[in-house]
Amino acid sequence: MKIIFKPIGVIHTEATHVPRHWSVSEVEGDLVIDPQYQEGLRDIQVGEYIVVIFHFHQSRPFMDRHLIQKPPHSDEWRGVFSTCSPIRPNPIGLSIFQVLGVDGNIIHVKGLDTFDGTPILDLKPYVEVVKKDHDS
């Protein structure tokens, strides 16, 4: 089976260095969405967070030796699926960005951990998990 994705947009930033993870990033930039999808952006609001699924377009090709990796700032070797490494069997990334503004087909965001030119595959709403008390 072959799966083919068509990007819906691209990430733009002037930053030359981005943090390795969105949770520690203050980097700002723009999600430039193809105008044909603009109507789908109409309920995205300033201040909320959105999930951005993207392609690690600058990642090195995955090889079997990448199944076990040592994350930065760690002495422990871990399986690739328990890391945020961009070197993966399918180079798909997921980040959560804060919406600073929406202008037509452009979403201004904060929290970038992606490089300029990163292809966007999809956007989804960020939904916080609310744990229910099972003793009630």
Q: pLDDT per residue over 20-55, tens digit each?
A: 778 777 889 999 999 999 999 999 999 999 999 999
The pLDDT, as a whole number, for residue 25 is 74
Q: Which amino acid is located at 49 in the chain?
A: Y
pLDDT in tens, 107-135: 999 999 889 999 999 999 999 888 877 66
Q: For tokens 């700002």, what's the residue?
A: 28
DSSP string, the chain: --------EEEE---S---SSGGG---EEEEEE-GGGGGGGTT--TT-EEEEEEE-TTPPPP-GGGGEE--TT-S--EEGGGS--S--SS-EEEEEEEEEEEETTEEEEE---S-TTPEEEEEEE--------TT-
CATH topology classification for 9-125:
Elongation Factor Tu (Ef-tu); domain 3 (2.40.30)
The pTM is what? 0.86
Of the candidates 100, 90, 85, 96, the residue with the CA atom closest to the CA atom of residue 123? 96
What sign does the dihedral 16-22-110-38 (CA atoms) show?
Answer: positive
